[in-house]
Amino acid sequence: MADLPAPGPPPAAQPPGPVDPITADREALREPRRVSPFGPVFLAWAVIRQVGFLNIGIFTAVVGSRNFQLVGLVASLALMVVGVAQWWRFTYGLETSDDGDQLVTLSGVFSRNRTSVPLDRIQAVSTRQNLLHRLVNLVEVNVQTAGSLGAEVQLSAVRPVVAERIRRLSTATTTSGDVVHLDAAGSEDGRPPLPPEAAPVLKRSLQDILVVAVTRNPLVLLAPIPLAVGLGVEAEELLGRFSDQAGDLVDRIGGSVLGAVVGVVVIVVLSALVSIGFVVLRLFDLRLFIDGAGLRRLSGLVSRTEVTASRERVQLVAVRTNPVERMLGLRELVLPVAGGGASVQIGTAVPTSLQLPGTRPDELERVVELVLGSRHDDEIGHASTYGISPLAVRRWTLWGGLAPAAIATFALWFLFGRVALLALLWVPVMWVAARLRQRSWQWSLGPETLRVRSGIVGEVRRDMPVRKTQNVMIDQGIFHRRHGLGDVKVRTASRVEMVLPLLPLAEARAVRGELIYRAETDPRPFM
């Protein structure tokens, strides 16, 4: 199996002689090129997968049975010709002008489309290798700029070194040009400078990933039950020979109920096993590197993805812990990045965050230091902590407790009569849960960071540098208006927003004023 090149200077970066690697990269990309001829094949495969084998089968059966074979054949041929023509007309290359280097792509069979992306505007170069890509050692490259939600430029199948070259050139341009780029140098908020060469930050072994997979699918731990029951039935059969007829009858009735329970458990365990399998496939060999361009995350067993993001592109740090993970000293770290999501082509989507499950405390500290600065924890730790309105208990009890309990009681009344009133016991349960939840909600606003944390058994914590604020919204529902409350929603350039729910309206307005003021006066870039 071919693999992605290890991050770091590839062979092309050290030619013998005086040619510096940047010039070499520039020369190598100068000539406009096509992507590999495998490109249209991969695209066809992605289309087939997207449409679904079953649909294609049904369609073929229906169309084929009515002597429409010729139409189908001509249509497929036409699609193939269009695909090949598109591949032929798509070229990419580097152009140098007075404004600096630009990555230029030309595309379109009948129309001519030209996309040029100045290298200093490139924010992230991510790659992906599906199984087919890996067989021939090619990668799909997605080039993102600040403005783009999806990929600005997409090269469907190129050699890995091309991605490496674009990445190196864009980093070199951004750090040497006049664009303010805090990534290259350290900054006054205590973030260490980025190392020139790739340094590993975290690495997950197969065992770690299995632990993560099991903590996410704890139902797999029910597996011993069907096994035990299976053994039990064996033993019972031996005993059963000596029991009398009446005992047999009881056994049979008990046995069928037991069989149903075991069947359900087996299904639950099998589905948990399947999702564990998918988690392992996706997270296999998860690694996070840090280099001159920022953060770089690799993972995957069959299809490998590599996501890069400059650290300014990271909008906030989200840490999730469930009780099992807490016992094992693991955290789920998510770094939502600016942009991402929208897919340009079928079967591709640029990731919206760097997902780092199973992170240990020391690794977490390192990543937080790189992204938010070393003084971050101290700073936010000393800021005053605020809660949310105690009226939240009433609202959550109404919505999550009383409303469903009333509906359930009404529905069950016709089946069970007065017993249905037991459903109302749900209300005190939810009241207790709402109370705990309201008490667990905390937020604090430090000089640099907005922190929100919540959770009864587990914990969700989000730390956002205040300068990443894009806009602030105060939302009021009918309950909010009656009690003079407001939800504050702070949006970043990522998909994740910070929500401070159910604050007294005056407090909500004060927070908004503060956040907006900081966003307006802080000249540092938000990505």
Partner 1 sequence: MSSVPVDESGSWNNRVVTVDSLPAIDQAPFERLEPRYLTQQRAIWAIILGLLLVGGITVLVIVGAPTWVWALVVVAALVLFAISFVLEGLAYDYRGVQLRAHDVSARRGLIGRSTITVPFSRVQHVTLERGAFDRVFGLAQVVIFTAGAVAADARVKGLSPERAERLREGIINRSNVTAVAANEDG
Which of 256, 274, 475, 484 is the binder for partner 1 (CB under 8 A)? 475
Nearest partner of 356 among 390, 319, 314, judged by Cα: 319
Residue 134 C-alpha from the chain's centroid: 22
Interaction between residue 72 and partner 1 (CB under 8 A): no
Question: Least distance from C-beta 213 to partner 1, angstroms?
Answer: 28
Interaction between residue 522 and partner 1 (CB under 8 A): yes
Residue closer to partner 1, measured from CB, 30 or 524: 524
Residue closer to partner 1, measured from CB, 86 or 476: 476
For the chain, report the end-to-end CA distance as a whole number of angstroms.
Answer: 36
Interaction between residue 146 and partner 1 (CB under 8 A): yes
Which of 360, 394, 453, 495 is the binder for partner 1 (CB under 8 A)? 495
Interaction between residue 128 and partner 1 (CB under 8 A): no
Question: Least distance from C-beta 510 to partner 1, angstroms?
Answer: 4
Residue 221 C-alpha from the chain's centroid: 26
CA distance 182 to 188: 10
Q: Which positions from 413 to 452 touch partner 1 by CB under 8 A, shown as an x/- string?
A: ----------------------------------x-----
Interaction between residue 524 and partner 1 (CB under 8 A): yes
Residue closer to partner 1, measured from CB, 174 or 397: 174
Backbone angles phi, psi at 444, to 5 degrees: -145, 150
Residues 6+ apart with CB under 8 A from 212: 204, 279, 283, 330, 332, 357, 358
Q: Which token pair is 24? A: 């070499």
Under rule CB under 8 A, which residues in 87-126 are in contact with partner 1? none
Question: Least distance from C-beta 347 to partner 1, angstroms?
Answer: 20
Q: Which helix (H) or strand (E) covers residue 372, if one does? A: helix 361-372
Q: Give the count of residues interacting with partner 1 (CB under 8 A).
A: 45
Backbone angles phi, psi at 268, to 5 degrees: -60, -45
Nearest partner of 368 among 423, 288, 483, judged by Cα: 288
Which of 233, 281, 398, 474 is the binder for partner 1 (CB under 8 A)? 474
Question: Least distance from C-beta 420 to partner 1, angstroms?
Answer: 32
Interaction between residue 520 and partner 1 (CB under 8 A): yes
DSSP character at residue 397: I
Interaction between residue 185 and partner 1 (CB under 8 A): no
Pairing of strands 122-129, 139-145: antiparallel
Q: How many CB atoms lie within 10 A of CB 378?
A: 11
Under rule CB under 8 A, which residues in 325-384 are in contact with partner 1? 338-341, 352
Contact stretch for partner 1 (CB under 8 A) within 190-198, 289-297, 362-370, 506-514? 506-514
CA distance 354 to 297: 7
Indicate the residue type of 456.
I
Interaction between residue 147 and partner 1 (CB under 8 A): yes
Residue closer to partner 1, measured from CB, 21 or 387: 387
Interaction between residue 482 and partner 1 (CB under 8 A): no
CA distance 285 to 300: 7
Question: Least distance from C-beta 478 to partner 1, angstroms?
Answer: 5
Which of 295, 472, 502, 503 is the binder for partner 1 (CB under 8 A)? 472
Cβ contact 248:266 at 8 Å? no
Quote the longest CA-to-CA distance of the chain.
98
**In the complex, which residues of this chain contact partner 1 (CB under 8 A)?**
146-147, 149, 179-180, 338-341, 352, 447, 469-478, 480-481, 491-495, 497, 509-510, 512-514, 516-517, 519-527
